[in-house]
Amino acid sequence: MAENPFFAPSNLPYELPPFADIREEHYLPAFRRGMAEQLAEVDAIAGSAEPPAFDNTIAALERSGRILDRTATVFYSIAAADSSDGIMEIEKEISPELTRHSDAIRLNRALWARIKQVTTEAPEEAWLLEKYRDDFIRAGADLSESEQDRLRELNEELSRLSTDFAQSLLKASTESALVVEDPKELDGFDEARIESLRKDGKYVLPLLNFTAQPGLAQLTNRDVRRRLYELSVGRAPGNFEVAARMATLRAERAALLGFPSHAAYSVADQTAKTVEAVEEMLGQLVGPAVRNAKREAEELAEMAGFDIEPWDWPYYSEKVRQARYDFDAAAMRPYFELNRVYRDGIFFAAAKLYGVTFTERPDLGGYHPDVTVYEVFDEDGSRLGLFVLDPYARETKRGGAWMNNLVDQSFLFGLRPVVMNNLNVTKPASGPTLLTYDEVNTAFHEFGHALHGLFSQVRFPRVSGTSVPRDFVEYPSQVNEMWVTWPEILANYAKHHETGEPMPAELVAKLTAAEKFNQGFKTVEYLAATLLDWAWHKLAPGEPVTDAEAFESAALATAQIAVPQVRPRYRTNYFAHIFSGGYSAGYYSYIWSEVLDAESVEWFKENGGLTRENGDHFRRELLSRGGSLDPLTAFRNFRGREPSIEPLLKRRGLD
């Protein structure tokens, strides 16, 4: 047992997890010892003879569970990025145990009685105390014994179903992959891309975790596009039933906690606060977005010569884009080499704005050979933390892109942050990794999350870095997207991978001119997913859904967002954000955050753009604060006023 690497803090720099020493057999013993140790710590806090105070109650809870925290952080990072049959079995076994463990803490009546007596005058402590009280109330601390028993049952079943949904979807990304024997069927892909898909004498194109697969924009064979699209929307069909059951259970749990729906429960501790606030914002977008999408569909049909289907939209939108703006997105790829995008683009922008620098640490290993670790230094040379990058797709990795912390910044423990970005870029069989424009944008976006974690300057891990309301967390990452095409930054990284020549100015101009093109499609597919999420989670208790696909169709029609050629960005069966992630009744948060983002981009432009003064202001007032104060207060401190939706409408061409 002493050899288990989770039982003591890592001795690597910044307490980076010792991935080389971790084996699958370490996880269950570490989870169980960690849970037992934390429950003993909680019992000691709840049974203390000392009068309740912030340090011996709230701060003590923050100090508890260190083994469990180290274990869960690594395990769920690996489960997402480099899973295996063994990891999946452990996840099934441990998920309900972790749910019971969490309930044992949040439903501990003696602990809750003690928390209610704590007082403090210190602002950061007072904010954290309020967060703890809200956590316990929302977890059912004030319910009767019988109600808490039912709540435990609901939580445990939801935990199991969420794991089932995620694992089914992970398997479907490869089991439902497009497989062709003749490479001619992949016409439209370049030779390097086709070669990267070769596997056992066939060509395998795995699914990414959204409806409109990137290949649809390039594949010239219409029937192949149709097959790829139908594989995408039909994957993991068993997840329809899982999702319906989860929505039903969430509705029952919300009612038990005193809310009319899971949506009302979910939004109550976000910046939006109410169902009405979310629906008012969404209502301003649906009509203009649908009108734009229908107009775009007519333009695409004119180009195609026939009424287009969903699998035609990405292909013909590129044709129209080329004809109207003489812009071919594929022409940009030779200028977007992965390493240069990071070194001379993402890191360069961070240095210009915030004065930070990045040094590769080949002596610090990750959990996979594709992982690279960088040490981050502040302008004065002081050590800031580690940035871990895992850019490539693989069968053992879930779809999408994300950021997570491997170590939370915390003055309480004297820890600097270790943050990780995951992408899903196809790894070439040989030669350089060339990115699409969308992949570059995603890389800048995820790095915005990383900066939020790296710049955290808070005392308590509960409010460290990105530990902010879900409808605020996307805001800093979306702001970081503005630097993708900022002239000084683009000129520094967008260079041809063979000649080193900068991207031609006319290509950049065409990109800028074409940016608002296809915004009707993009906004409708996003809003359709958002309103589908909302429909599932506005179910009242006692409203079981017997036909999930019929429910999905009816929900989109009721929301007036049903455009036949534009399906939701995520359908129910692969909507991981809401059925296996933390975004249930929260997918609206991307557009809610974009309101703040659009305001902030205007502020940067009004104040001189890429300057240290601007970067330091954003870092000081917002990025460094984590969740240690009200997020909209942090926004007002940065922007100097309340947010308005007009900049967002203008950006998306919906004004």
Q: Measured over all CA atoms, what is the biggest interatomic distance in the chain, rounded to whole angstroms?
A: 80
Report the DSSP beta bridge partners of residue 392: 425
- If you ran DSSP here, which 8-state letter would residue 343 be given? I
> What's at 451, amino acid-wise?
L
Could you give the CA distance from residue 278 to residue 266 in angstroms, rounded to a whole number? Answer: 12
Cα dihedral 539, 400, 287, 327 in deg (nearest 10): -170
Q: Report which of 601, 585, 597 is spatially closest to residue 251, judged by C-alpha positions.
A: 585
- If you ran DSSP here, which 8-state letter would residue 367 be given? S
Cα dihedral 48, 51, 52, 54 in deg (nearest 10): -110
> CB atoms < 10 A from the CB of 62, how many?
19
- If you ran DSSP here, which 8-state letter would residue 55 be given? I
Helix (H, G, I), strand (E, B) or coil at 328: coil
Helices 631-639, 589-606: inter-axial angle, 10-degree rounding: 20
Report the DSSP beta bridge partners of residue 325: none
- Pair 114, 52: CB distance under 8 Å: yes
Q: Can you list the alpha helix ranges (DSSP code H) found in 413-464?
A: 437-454
Q: Report which of 341, 587, 593 is spatially closest to residue 449, judged by C-alpha positions.
A: 593
Strands 418-425 and 383-392: parallel
C-alpha torsion sign, points 208, 211, 213, 214: negative
The gap between the terminal CA atoms of the chain, to the nearest Å, is 63
> CB atoms < 10 A from the CB of 184, how many?
11
Q: Is residue 91 flagged as an active site residue?
A: no
Q: Report which of 56, 52, 39 is spatially closest to residue 116, judged by C-alpha positions.
A: 52
The one catalytic residue among 252, 446, 594, 599: 446
- Pair 597, 452: CB distance under 8 Å: no
Residues in contact with 172: Cβ distance below 8 Å, sequence separation at least 6, in sequence order: 207, 235, 236, 574
Query: What's the length of the chain?
Result: 655
Could you give the CA distance from residue 517 to residue 320 in angstroms, rounded to a whole number? Answer: 9
Residues in contact with 113: Cβ distance below 8 Å, sequence separation at least 6, in sequence order: none
Kind and range of the H or E element at 375? strand 372-377
The DSSP line for 91-153 is HHHHHHHHHHHHHHHHT-HHHHHHHTT----SHHHHHHHHHHHHHHHHTTTTS-HHHHHHHHH
Could you give the CA distance from residue 120 to residue 131 in angstroms, rounded to a whole number? Answer: 13
- Tell me how far CA of residue 371 lies from CA of 81, 389, 403, 424, 471, in angstroms: 10, 6, 14, 13, 29
- If you ran DSSP here, which 8-state letter would residue 208 be given? P
Give the catalytic positions in this structure.
446
